[in-house]
Structure 1
Amino acid sequence: MTTIRTRFAPSPTGYLHIGGARTALFSWLYARKHGGTFVLRIEDTDLERSTAESVNAILEGMTWLGLEYDEGPFYQTHRFDRYKAVIQQLLDQGKAYHCYCTKEELDAMRAEQMENKEKPRYDGRCRHRAEPREGVPPVVRFRNPDEGEVVIEDWVRGRVVVKNGELDDLIIARSDGSPTYNFTVVVDDHDMNITHVIRGDDHLNNTPRQMNILAALGASIPHYAHVPMILGADGARLSKRHGAVSVMQYRDDGYLPEAVLNYLVRLGWSHGDQEIFSIDEMIQLFDIDAINHSASTFNPDKLLWLNHHYLMHGDPAHVARHLSWHLGQLGIDPSAGPDPVEIVKAQRERCKTLVEMAKASEFFYREFEQYDDKAAHKNLTPAAAAALEALRENLAGLTPWGKTALHEAVAATAEALGVKMGNVAQPLRVAVSGTAVSPPIDTTLELLGQNQTLARIDRALEFIAKKS
């Protein structure tokens, strides 16, 4: 039985975007389900646009998503000698030839074809050229078959038939000797024994040409699955204007990687009506045959809903590891305050992103600069001073400092003053957090600690006194 081998082969000309991440996920899932091998290949032959920063962005995105690769990363720029040898092999076998046509000649040829309402294509005029052309550095073209057809048994699109007469002779090496994309892909897939190519359907037009080159090399043809594109809400292809950004931007915006993966797997694939999938469930249930034939629409609200689900139901220790990074982005050392695991438990019900959670938890780790105006105006009043003074007295000697004792202390203060508990708890909340919103007051005080709680009550009493 043949071992399944899939690959993800991004071009390092930018960040790892959502469409690329979905392709990587589908390829990774298929390999994992079948005990196969997932290969990462960096297609960096576009020397002008490829950058080390983009390579790092791709690797960083793969790591954050947890899409570990079994082999690679392989870089095409490290394989130029191999491509050169295969090109020479095709030349020696008469399956490729040197083309000396100038740009001006090619432009004139295409203009004439368009004027005659013909499909613009290279007409093969250099196929039988016997002598080199002085002063013109040649490209190398693949001699595409004239007769017959290419049949793609696509696992998503179904049977696709392309007549060879519709394909012209593809350039496989530029005039400077550098290989072209469609050629390097073929050699790599052959050398790396790729059995299944899962990629966007924008590559479908390349597939017949690539299959013909593979056939010329005597190589086996992999199975192809061309996945429909992702659309924005307006029906246009997803782009930056729809908010399609680097996968790492979703990290920066406070999303968990498992929420992004769960969302991506449902962009074009389904298993009944199930919406929530663990990684293990994805691996167990994923099948190429279940990929939708039509394009998917990106829905940011759905992603946000999923993220809140994972914040609510994920392992608090796991969520806390990601929260700690976001606290660090605010200049907070998570070790200088309450355990982030406890912060997650306290905040996850009301926060939909880790950015929101980190900002809402900032007051636990450092003094806030000022009170929220509306909250202070309503709650830090001379009438509230008596409640805060009584609370301070009750809390100063409280031991142990725990939720049950804190709840009882706040309730006892309210009862002694003859007011509702909210008339005591809300001024206290504003005093210690600076805002009218926080976790339950007993949880808030427990996490803040006794010394900080007393110090902030003192600060609030000074604020009320100055305002009076």
Structure 2
Amino acid sequence: MTTTPVRTRFAPSPTGFLHLGGARTALYSWAYARHFGGTFVLRIEDTDVERSTPEAVQAILDGMKWLGLDHDEGPFYQMQRMDRYREVVAQMLEAGTAYHCYSSPEEVQAMRDRATAAGEKPRYDGTWRPEEGKVLPPVPAGRKPVVRFKNPLDGEVTWNDVVKGTITIANKELDDLVIARPDGTPTYNFCVAVDDWDMQITHVLRGDDHVNNTPRQINILRAIGAKLPEYGHLPMILGPDGQKLSKRHGAVSVMEYPAQGFLPEAMLNYLARLGWSHGDDEIFSMEQFAEWFNLESLTPSAAQFNNEKLAWLNNHWIKQADNTRLAELVKPRMLAAGAVFDGAPALPPVLALLKDRTNTTNELADAAMLFYRAPQPDAALLSQHVTDAVKPALAAFAERIATVEWSKEAIAAMIKEVLAAHGLKMPQLAMPLRLFVCGQLQTPAIDAVLQLFGRDTVAARIAKFL
């Protein structure tokens, strides 16, 4: 059991939509904070001014809202914290843990080229790094310096990654990172370290594309006297073909899924299992997930996204969903398809009848249309199913509609009585009734369908075709 109050964060860069990998990272960070009654912080890392957009910020906020991953603090925006970053840079310059570097970009590139030619790792060579007894070059006239972090030259950076195990990086593999550009704006790794320090983040869960950033951030945190968080780097999500998940596999943005008819609880349930497990449990609520969630059960191997599995889960959560809520979700699609609700059955009970057999709310909306448009049965189907042998039974059925109790059970009993009186089997009567009332042969149980349509509608439609 942890003793320090748990503080986690989700810190996306607003350069695009909230993708599935980011949503999973947010989910795990949220769940860990909830598990311990801690704090979940949302931070927008928008220092990449050229690529960050207000639209992307909104897409992230929309995705988090749809998923229901509520944050306790934030959103904090790095661009609004520039004074704080400059303050820490100044403190580091004064402490000697950072220094001004006047090498031009071209000179730094030449250093990297020389190192590559010598079979070494391309890096800045420390020309302006102050060392005892070292004479620095003359400052070029009119050139504004960058600020570089004085990375340790010897030793190693080691951390126990909660997902990948112990990771060690030699300091000689890391050059002196630029922490502030010539115009004074800070760089990514520096901002992240300062933010995690200021926001007292205890656990950093993020994608394993950040593994190379971690030793740099650890060294900066040590230099400014900050307590280190625990780190966990989650493997990427792969497509069904084992390649990195991309648009060729289908939707990658979280917000494409509500448009396709997926429920947030299904997406959360599915993402939770892409890199974490609790025995053989497949279906669980977010309350249950937060109760179960731990870092020990995170898996270091990449997970494969499976659309069929997601659809199966979505079917489960649609079946569990409140029918009034489902009606609000499907009604816009049905109106766009020409649905007429005046004089038609109430939508929630219709959805209750149909939802067991649909994987998305879009499929549910399409299935429900049979109750909200005039039937237009195919003439060939009518001639095939409305035979001379069946017409007397249909007439008898139409006659008894006026007096039968209008319940599913009473309608079912009346159908059986008509069949028995005319020596017919169920399909011989049910198929023409479906064509008359619904305009199609495939529907749920005919007694349930007729009961929902209502006595007057059923009588009118049968009379029209008889």
In 1, are the aligned partners of 2:44 and 2:76 still within 8 Å (CA)?
A: yes
Q: Give, as a single letter, the amino acid of the residue that structure 2 aligns with 1:425.
A: A
Aligned partner (choices 412, 418, 440) of residue 417 of structure 2: 412
Are 1:391 and 2:392 counterparts? no
Are 1:439 and 2:444 counterparts? yes
Aligned partner (choices 219, 223, 227) of residue 234 of structure 2: 227
Secondary structure of the residue aligned to 1:361 is: helix
Within 5 A, what are the aligned runs for 1:26-41? Answer: 26-41=28-43
CA–CA distance in structure 2, aligned partners of residues 336 and 138 of structure 1: 75
CA change 1:37–1:326 in 2 (3 A) is farther
Structure 1 match to 2:133: none
CA change 1:404–1:160 in 2 (3 A) is same
Structure 1 match to 2:281: 274
Aligned partner (choices 310, 313, 318) of residue 303 of structure 1: 310
Alpha-carbon offset, residue 337 of structure 1: 4.3
Alpha-carbon offset, residue 272 of structure 1: 1.2
In 1, are the aligned partners of 2:260 and 2:360 still within 8 Å (CA)?
A: yes
CA change 1:17–1:332 in 2 (3 A) is farther
Structure 2 match to 1:197: 204
CA change 1:418–1:29 in 2 (3 A) is same
CA–CA distance in structure 2, aligned partners of residues 373 and 68 of structure 1: 55
Aligned partner (choices 93, 96, 103) of residue 95 of structure 2: 93
CA–CA distance in structure 2, aligned partners of residues 100 and 356 of structure 1: 63
Aligned partner (choices 236, 261, 277) of residue 268 of structure 2: 261
In 2, are the aligned partners of 1:426 and 1:436 still within 8 Å (CA)?
A: yes
Alpha-carbon offset, residue 341 of structure 1: 3.0
CA change 1:212–1:405 in 2 (3 A) is same
In 2, are the aligned partners of 1:200 and 1:227 still within 8 Å (CA)?
A: yes
Structure 1 match to 2:48: 46
Structure 2 match to 1:403: 408
Secondary structure of the residue aligned to 2:356 is: coil
In 2, are the aligned partners of 1:326 and 1:354 still within 8 Å (CA)?
A: no
Structure 1 gap segments, 5+ residues each? 462-468
Aligned partner (choices 10, 15, 18) of residue 16 of structure 1: 18
CA–CA distance in structure 1, aligned partners of residues 452 and 69 of structure 2: 36
CA change 1:71–1:325 in 2 (3 A) is farther
Q: Deviations over 1:185-218 (max 9, x none)?
A: 1111111111100111111110000011111111
CA–CA distance in structure 2, aligned partners of residues 455 and 320 of structure 1: 26
Cα RMSD after superposing both structures: 2.4
Structure 2 match to 1:464: none
Secondary structure of the residue aligned to 1:348 is: helix
CA–CA distance in structure 2, aligned partners of residues 455 and 42 of structure 1: 60
CA–CA distance in structure 2, aligned partners of residues 88 and 381 of structure 1: 92
Are 1:236 and 2:243 counterparts? yes
Are 1:343 and 2:350 counterparts? yes
Q: Sequence identity, in percent?
A: 52
Aligned partner (choices 95, 101, 104) of residue 102 of structure 1: 104
Between stretches 238-247 and 327-336, larger displacement belongs to 327-336
Alpha-carbon offset, residue 345 of structure 1: 2.0
CA–CA distance in structure 1, aligned partners of residues 302 and 334 of structure 2: 38
In 1, are the aligned partners of 2:266 and 2:310 still within 8 Å (CA)?
A: yes
Alpha-carbon offset, residue 175 of structure 1: 2.7
TM-score (norm 2): 0.91
Regions of 4+ moved over 6 Å: 333-336
Between stretches 204-213 and 401-410, larger displacement belongs to 401-410
Q: Give, as a single letter, the amino acid of the residue that structure 2 aligns with 1:392.
A: A
In 2, are the aligned partners of 1:10 and 1:43 still within 8 Å (CA)?
A: yes
Aligned pair count reads 459
Alpha-carbon offset, residue 37 of structure 1: 0.6
Alpha-carbon offset, residue 372 of structure 1: 6.0
Structure 2 match to 1:121: 123
Alpha-carbon offset, residue 434 of structure 1: 2.3
In 2, are the aligned partners of 1:254 and 1:326 still within 8 Å (CA)?
A: no
In 1, are the aligned partners of 2:340 and 2:373 still within 8 Å (CA)?
A: no
Q: Give, as a single letter, the amino acid of the residue that structure 2 aligns with 1:140.
A: V
Q: Deviations over 1:115-173 (max 9, x none)?
A: 21111111121224465423433322211111221111111111111111110111222
